[in-house]
Structure 1
């Protein structure tokens, strides 16, 4: 990493640290921090003196930040409000869910308390909660919380377990230096990750726009245009026709409305909405079924290579992809199967189904729904444009080439994000466990950072 190490180390007795600098202590969290589990949710007033008060839940606490917008309220006595209250600078640690997820509380309107899915941690002597925050991230990354918590049921990080966690403790000035160093370096890394994520968003938007333009306007920008008469399709080439999905297909099959009986050793794969993205069927994580279940799943129609599978429910609805030559697959829940008519190129039809002009026709069924679901009749009646078959094939070939280039750019951005994330985690580990000595690292002061 390019940073110096401490001159001398000693073997650590803490389970998740091999060695620490010789002058650091080996202690536990309870000796230097106070821990308070939050109050059990009380939706109604139980005593005349009860007051309504805002509270924070585990969902409000994410790594690096606490969301204090639109907080819910519960009832509590004045004594409970004082006991469970939080203030700026408190460390909040999740007791359940992703146990150990930690963040520092920023400014908040008082009074506010914590629910019993959160621990509030405060320093009691010569310790920095900022240092402990990074230490908790390191412990989470090592998987130690999974060992510490009982995984046979729902995992919980009780106050007792949290209190007993081993703590490699540098002198206070070093803790503060380490925290400042990590604040600065992780901010730099996070900014680079944010740029890559912004690039991914731009690539996705550009890819979607190119698909929509190609399937609705073709590849010749000089061709005469006409109004399609459908708001989401807009102008289309004058010599193209209009049709509905039910006329562009020789077969439309909805999935069996029951949950497949999965078999890890089965020879057949079940395609779910999770296995589809725009024009891509990724079967690397697909669930399996045995032959009996497979035959049950294809009782309405066998899924053949070249068929198009389409997700119509859930957060990932609206994606379509073609079925490959191998392996044999069947429909999971929330899926539909289309087979193109003779006058439609299957690959063009697949790209058309991924276009925004089709997606928006399905949105009408999903407004205000917490579980998006597009009706089969709506899907059958999607408006499509119908170019001559030769143009359909040319458009499909063009989109294959274009989306392949996008896929390479997306893969490169994901690799960069993964590398940066791994470096971020490694840097936190090295700093909070004393593998590197950051005491001599020059950092910009706060005014310089704000100016930057």
Structure 2
């Protein structure tokens, strides 16, 4: 095992600050577990049972699942008083961040979380900010090198040197960061709400154009489909499979991959580039599993990965219109019913949809491109401002917990 001391960077801190290894600042580490889900009298009690899905805020005052006192006793689970630091240490969401929080009410935990009872030398809220501000750096130090399993190693994080300012400075740092990060988080939340409204506007524009057309004065007729309502009188209404054919993509084993100019598109998007294309562009793809239902449009020749469905036959229809049309369908509702959602083309093909002529499809797609470009540009600017706010938030926390802000020394 690589020595944490050799991987750790030594740092200098203001006068009066000390450094201690985490294990010397901890009164006790607690591990959790999962009571049997088949034992009904273990679940639905009054005791919050915290799992990684609950670790979305810095203070834990709620959990999605609750257990009984019997579950605690039979499974030897801890009941943690308020003020413990809860940290996700097992795989799942450790690729980019270390979820960490302090509980504000008594809780128990599952096996993916480590609970830490700190000694009197260190304030739990200060320590939470220390991990939050330095998490990218700490992820590199606390994960085991050379492994693909994303988990934090006790032997690494317990040996980490933690800066310890005087206790009154710790409390001041936590209080100031509470105020400043709340303001930043409020701005981020407002900007994300703007992105949500832009997405709703985008969806409304697409739905209107591909189900009603661009001419508001066109004669209409009943489609016979509740969700479609009326459609232009000169349009067809038929099963999707009568207009296009979806086909499952093809996997490429690692030993067959050869770097080249053609994108290999998986359910989440471009995965890598290969020397061979399986399909001529333009192409339309749907995430089959993984990012099930996610849509992709590609202009160039491409290779559709096994995790996608791709339009093998457009049958004279305009590819970009088909892409827009698929945005109006809830494709994830066509999964196979397994625990891992998988979109099934045989369930999509019968879906009734409205179709103008290929010439009108091209006009609609072109108009949507123009109208959505401005919306997309606004979204890019908002996304960039969110990124900058998040970077400022992280830099502020890092500066505070490492003694770089004069009034917090």
Tell me the TM-score normalised to structure 2 length.
0.83
Cα distance, 1:438 vs structure 2:
3.2
**Equivalent residue in structure 1 for 2:310, among 336, 339, 355:** 336
Query: For residue 273 of structure 1, what is the aligned residue in structure 2?
Result: 267
Confirm or deny that 1:60 pairs with 2:36: no
- After TM superposition, list the pairs within 5 Å mapping 1:433-444 onto structure 2: 433-439=402-408
Measured at CA, do residues 391 and 149 of structure 1 come closer, stay the same or move farther in structure 2, by a change above 3 Å? closer
- After TM superposition, list the pairs within 5 Å mapping 1:33-432 onto structure 2: 33-41=26-34, 43=36, 55-62=49-56, 64-66=58-60, 67-72=62-67, 75-77=71-73, 80=76, 84-97=78-91, 98=94, 100-108=98-106, 112-142=107-137, 144-153=138-147, 154-249=149-244, 252-256=245-249, 259-262=251-254, 265-267=258-260, 268-275=262-269, 283=270, 286-289=271-274, 291=276, 298=278, 303-317=279-293, 319-321=295-297, 323-325=298-300, 327-342=301-316, 344-354=317-327, 356=328, 359-360=329-330, 362=331, 364-366=333-335, 369-432=338-401
Distance 1:80 1:370 in 2: 30
Q: Please give the per-residue CA displacement for 1:137-192, whole angstroms capped at 9, x wherever unaligned.
A: 133132x3322332334354455543322121111111100000111111111111
**Is the 8 Å Cα contact of residues 304 and 310 (structure 2) preserved in structure 1?**
no
**Is the 8 Å Cα contact of residues 93 and 101 (structure 1) preserved in structure 2?**
yes
The alignment partner of 1:20 has SS state of coil
Cα distance, 1:209 vs structure 2:
0.8
Distance 2:226 2:111 in 1: 51
Cα distance, 1:59 vs structure 2:
4.2
Distance 1:149 1:308 in 2: 39
**Is the 8 Å Cα contact of residues 35 and 163 (structure 1) preserved in structure 2?**
no
Which 5+ residue runs of structure 1 have no aligned equivalent? 1-12, 46-51, 276-282, 441-452
The alignment partner of 2:334 has SS state of coil
Distance 1:197 1:406 in 2: 14
Query: For residue 13 of structure 2, what is the aligned residue in structure 1?
Result: 20
Measured at CA, do residues 59 and 387 of structure 1 come closer, stay the same or move farther in structure 2, by a change above 3 Å? closer
The alignment partner of 2:310 has SS state of strand
Distance 1:14 1:375 in 2: 48
Distance 1:314 1:25 in 2: 47
Cα distance, 1:314 vs structure 2:
4.3
The alignment partner of 2:101 has SS state of strand
The alignment partner of 2:176 has SS state of helix
**Is the 8 Å Cα contact of residues 240 and 387 (structure 1) preserved in structure 2?**
yes
Q: Please give the per-residue CA displacement for 1:343-372, whole angstroms capped at 9, x wherever unaligned.
A: x33322322222x2xx14x45533865333
Distance 1:14 1:138 in 2: 19
**Is the 8 Å Cα contact of residues 20 and 433 (structure 1) preserved in structure 2?**
yes
Q: Please give the per-residue CA displacement for 1:289-332, whole angstroms capped at 9, x wherever unaligned.
A: 455xx6xxx4xxxx1123433334444315252x313x543443
The alignment partner of 2:90 has SS state of coil
Cα distance, 1:25 vs structure 2:
1.5
Distance 1:316 1:105 in 2: 35
**Is the 8 Å Cα contact of residues 287 and 343 (structure 2) preserved in structure 1?**
no
User: What RMSD, in angstroms, separates the aligned Cα atoms of the two structures?
Assistant: 3.1
Query: For residue 42 of structure 2, what is the aligned residue in structure 1?
Result: none
Distance 2:265 2:7 in 1: 46
The alignment partner of 1:19 has SS state of coil
Cα distance, 1:207 vs structure 2:
0.4
Measured at CA, do residues 17 and 402 of structure 1 come closer, stay the same or move farther in structure 2, by a change above 3 Å? farther
**Is the 8 Å Cα contact of residues 50 and 65 (structure 2) preserved in structure 1?**
no
The alignment partner of 1:21 has SS state of coil
